[in-house]
A and B are shown apart, each in its own frame.
Chain A
Amino acid sequence: MIDARPFLELRGIVKRFPGVLALNGVSLDVRAGEVHALLGENGAGKSTLIKTIAGVYRPDAGDIRLDGRIASIRNPHDAQALGISTIFQEFTLAPDMTVAENIFLGREPLRVRALSIIDRKQLIRRTRDVLASLDLSIDAEATVRHLGVAQHQMIEIAKALSLDARLIIMDEPTATLTSHEIDRLFESIGRLKARGVAVVYVSHRLDEVKAICDRATILRDGAYVATVPVASTTVDEMIRLMVGRDLKDKFPKTAFDPGEEVLRVERLTRAGVLHGISFSVRRGEIVGIAGLVGSKRTETARAIFGADPIDSGRIFLRGTPVKVRTPADAIANRVALVPEDRKRQGIFAVLSVRENIVLSALRLFSRNGILDLRRETRRAQELVSALRVSTPDVEKRVLDLSGGNQQKVVIAKWLNTDAEVFLFDEPTRGIDVGGKIEVYRLMGDLLARGAAIVMISSELPEILGMSDRILVMRDGRICGEFDRADATEEKILNCALRGVSDPAA
């Protein structure tokens, strides 16, 4: 049931950062019991807006009203007290504490108030109640570190609920979830709705927005564009509102013209992790690897790249068996890895765009160990414009770039090496629609130059849209292989979930 009176109203919100007008008079209203999508490309101002609602930033101008009354949200604590909870992309759980300790962190039920002695029994009972109300089967006494990403997400939601939140902001909650886990999340959101909790839902995945959101507000370049009812608005219309133009083709797939085999792995095995992985990739080909989170796709890429050890199995490059013990060995054999966790494994946040771009190929920019900074700058500028990285100059810290641009910097780094086998692990995670297409185009350019690509992705449309062949992994094994022509979401899912490639089996 949707209450017509808005719980949250924002009017004319303005937020300036040095040199940037991040929000330019943005309005938004969210009703109780409504799931309200916030859409826009990276840099459109979504993050700034939700941080403003959450009390992380204070607006330079504009009103925030709750239940029709002007609210003063000076810090995250105020926001929480007013019933606003935010689930950020970066997890805010303490990994070495239990689920219960995390959910009630800072407001533990006490037994002897004066001595601040925690009432453990009550803590666990109340945690179980919250978890049960969301129909979650998570052990209240489990250590958070030992739980999966999806469960972390659920714990964050449980925590928000236990705070009696009336508005929960979710920032890309499904970015790291598998489709099965996403279903569970959507069930939880359904229950929140039924209780009259309002949800602001930030996501780049428009199919999800179609599935669970009631209305959507679209931002572009820090400005309000429109608020539309989701049911009567097509995905294409939403994209048009986000980018301000029509996007003809979401997956700019180039014609497949296979060359000779570049990479082949045979019976790659690592005890307890990988069990006899064999496959090959040809020049001009994209081999997509689908599977659930935890199916060891990342581990496969890391093993090929020499980042993790293998117990047995062989790797052939251009027909020759090679020993790959370290990433340096892999790079010398012209292999590149674009890792899934950009922040932790891909970028050097406090270093400049230039320093990031040249890092894997410093030999090319140095003579007798002395760096040629001018040549570095020239090359970085070339790649920044070739890849259309949006940055004022190459000396900007990568930290200050948007996710899509950071990813382009990571890819640019490998364009300096003579890599011809590219292992892409979740190449477009957390990147907006426009940025995704740019990454796909880059892949096309690489193929045209004779590269071979292995692309791990949890987004099935991406797998189906970009791959020439699709491998499905489950529990460290390849359990199915499909050609582009006869792959469907159903077949892949069935294989990933049940480990069989034939739906009838």
Chain B
Amino acid sequence: MPAVILGLAVIFGTINPNFWSVTNMANVSRQMSILALLAIGQTFAILSGGIDLSVGSLLALVSVVCAQTMKTFGLVEGITAGLLAGTVAGLISGLIIARARVPAFIATLGMLVAARGAALTLSGGLPIAGLPREFLVLGAGYIGPFPIPTVIAATAFVLAHVILSRTRFGRYVYAMGSNEEAAVLSGINVANYKMLVYITSGLFAGLAGVILTARVISGQPTLGEVQELYSIAAVVIGGGRISGGVGGIGTTLMGVLVLGILGNGLNLVQVSSYIQNIVIGAIIVGAVWIDLARERRR
């Protein structure tokens, strides 16, 4: 997979040398950071044997809640409310999945529809403008040469990697995804950890939503459509198993890079966005197919 990413980069760089420019690199990484944060949350959900279809809609809900609170109460309150909105939505999904035992696909599908509805209701279907200028820094600012969203996403990758590979919670996520029944019989409180998984996913969606709101410097109830599908694509392209137990932050990072570089590169070599979708669709299926073929040959 790293070879594929490098290959893509070399091809795009040869056709359009601008690809390697500092400005473009900063741009790509800034664009990728939203998908990256959603994909990190999605990694927890999929690894644990579930899925979170709601993360795209949560971007919209978080954006609206964040913008409205910010206008009424102030910057910090707005950001906090945004993060809280994502987390609470995750908690609700988690409760429905872990306590009421509704399949994750259905529970988060419901949340996908409901969160979008809530975002439209709260905003009256209209963008919320007039946010403080300082907020713009979160989306457009830099730390040294690095865009702030990039720095946040990178930090999130490191943190999530440590959680998944070095903590009990992380190990239990893998165990649940590998064999839920065996996990229960090993004394793991599967219901609690499942809730934690969707809270985590909601929190990362909250973070992504706040950053996206800062980038567009307004609350937008229409943000994030089909982003949940791209986040799933990112997880599986890198080698994460859709039924859980196999994969990790490393493979998700690969998936995010492939999608991000592909989108940016195809733009730079002036492939129309319609055709881009066809290419990306083919890559999603192709990557998983190659992965499965390799697995079968073992």
Contact A351 B175 (CB under 8 A): yes
**CB contact under 8 A between A348 and B178, given known A18-B298, A355-B171, A362-B168:** yes
Query: Among B34-42, B56-64, B95-103, B183-191, which stretch is in contact with chain A?
Result: B183-191
Contact A371 B187 (CB under 8 A): no
Measured in the bound complex, the distance between the Cα atoms of B298 and A331 in whole Å is 36
Contact string against B for A residues 359-371, beta-carbon threshold 8 Å, 1 for contact and 0 otherwise: 1101100100111
B113 CB, min distance to chain A CBs, angstroms: 29
Measured in the bound complex, the distance between the Cα atoms of B182 and A413 in whole Å is 12
**Cβ of B245 under 8 Å from chain A:** yes
> Interface of chain B, helix or strand or loop or mixed?
helix
- Residues from 210 to 235 in A contacting B, C-beta threshold 8 Å: none
Contact B187 A347 (CB under 8 A): no
Query: Among A88-96, A255-263, A337-345, A453-461, which stretch is in contact with chain B?
Result: A337-345
Inside 8 A of A348's CB, which chain B residues have their CB?
174-175, 178-179, 182-183, 245
A444 CB, min distance to chain B CBs, angstroms: 24
Inside 8 A of A330's CB, which chain B residues have their CB?
187
Contact A371 B298 (CB under 8 A): no
Please give me the residue from chain B that is nearest to A368 by CB atom. Answer: B167
**Cβ of B241 under 8 Å from chain A:** yes
Inside 8 A of A413's CB, which chain B residues have their CB?
186
Please give me the residue from chain B that is nearest to A360 by CB atom. Answer: B186
Contact string against B for A residues 325-358, beta-carbon threshold 8 Å, 1 for contact and 0 otherwise: 0111011100001010000111111110001000
Contact string against A for B residues 151-189, beta-carbon threshold 8 Å, 1 for contact and 0 otherwise: 000000000000000111101101100110111111111
**CB contact under 8 A between A371 and B168, given known A330-B187, A350-B241:** yes
Contact B168 A350 (CB under 8 A): no
Please give me the residue from chain A that is nearest to B162 by CB atom. Answer: A370
**Cβ of A307 under 8 Å from chain B:** yes
**Cβ of A373 under 8 Å from chain B:** yes
**Cβ of B120 under 8 Å from chain A:** no
Inside 8 A of B246's CB, which chain A residues have their CB?
350
A474 CB, min distance to chain B CBs, angstroms: 26
A317 CB, min distance to chain B CBs, angstroms: 15
* Total A-B residue contacts, Cβ distance less than 8 Å: 74
Please give me the residue from chain B that is nearest to A17 by CB atom. Answer: B298
Contact B182 A371 (CB under 8 A): no
Inside 8 A of A369's CB, which chain B residues have their CB?
167-169
Contact A337 B185 (CB under 8 A): yes
| Among B167, B171, B182, B189: residue with most chain A CB under 10 A | B182
**Cβ of A7 under 8 Å from chain B:** no
Please give me the residue from chain A that is nearest to B244 by CB atom. Answer: A350
Contact string against B for A residues 364-398, beta-carbon threshold 8 Å, 1 for contact and 0 otherwise: 00100111010000000000000000000000000
Measured in the bound complex, the distance between the Cα atoms of B182 and A337 in whole Å is 11
Please give me the residue from chain A that is nearest to B297 by CB atom. Answer: A18
Contact A351 B189 (CB under 8 A): no
Contact A305 B182 (CB under 8 A): no
Inside 8 A of A332's CB, which chain B residues have their CB?
187
Contact B188 A328 (CB under 8 A): yes
Contact B184 A327 (CB under 8 A): yes
Contact A350 B167 (CB under 8 A): no
Measured in the bound complex, the distance between the Cα atoms of B175 and A350 in whole Å is 9
A179 CB, min distance to chain B CBs, angstroms: 28
Inside 8 A of B188's CB, which chain A residues have their CB?
328, 359
Please give me the residue from chain B that is nearest to A307 by CB atom. Answer: B185
Inside 8 A of A337's CB, which chain B residues have their CB?
185
- Residues from 182 to 238 in B contacting A, C-beta threshold 8 Å: 182-189
Measured in the bound complex, the distance between the Cα atoms of B184 and A457 in whole Å is 23
Contact A339 B185 (CB under 8 A): yes
A326 CB, min distance to chain B CBs, angstroms: 7
Inside 8 A of A360's CB, which chain B residues have their CB?
186-187
Inside 8 A of A371's CB, which chain B residues have their CB?
166-168, 171
Measured in the bound complex, the distance between the Cα atoms of B103 and A255 in whole Å is 51
Contact A331 B187 (CB under 8 A): yes
Contact of B185 among A327, A349, A355, A366 (CB under 8 A): A327
Measured in the bound complex, the distance between the Cα atoms of B169 and A360 in whole Å is 13
B199 CB, min distance to chain A CBs, angstroms: 16
Inside 8 A of B169's CB, which chain A residues have their CB?
369
A243 CB, min distance to chain B CBs, angstroms: 29
Contact of A346 among B166, B182, B241 (CB under 8 A): B182
Contact B186 A307 (CB under 8 A): no
Inside 8 A of B186's CB, which chain A residues have their CB?
327, 359-360, 413
Contact string against A for B residues 242-274, beta-carbon threshold 8 Å, 1 for contact and 0 otherwise: 000110000000000000000000000000000
Inside 8 A of B172's CB, which chain A residues have their CB?
362
Inside 8 A of B298's CB, which chain A residues have their CB?
18
Q: Can you pick out 30 interface pairs between chain A and chain B where the beta carbons lie within 8 Å of each other?
A: A18-B298, A326-B187, A326-B189, A327-B184, A327-B186, A327-B187, A330-B187, A337-B185, A344-B179, A344-B181, A346-B182, A346-B185, A347-B179, A348-B175, A348-B178, A348-B179, A348-B183, A350-B241, A350-B245, A351-B175, A351-B178, A351-B245, A359-B188, A360-B187, A362-B168, A362-B172, A366-B167, A366-B168, A370-B167, A371-B167
Residues of A within 8 A of B (CB): 18, 305, 307, 326-328, 330-332, 337, 339, 344-351, 355, 359-360, 362-363, 366, 369-371, 373, 413
Residues of B within 8 A of A (CB): 166-169, 171-172, 174-175, 178-179, 181-189, 241, 245-246, 298
5 shortest interchain CB distances as A-B pairs: A348-B178, A331-B187, A328-B187, A350-B245, A360-B186
8 additional A-B residue pairs with CB within 8 Å, beyond A307-B185, A355-B171: A331-B187, A348-B175, A348-B179, A349-B179, A351-B174, A359-B171, A363-B168, A371-B171
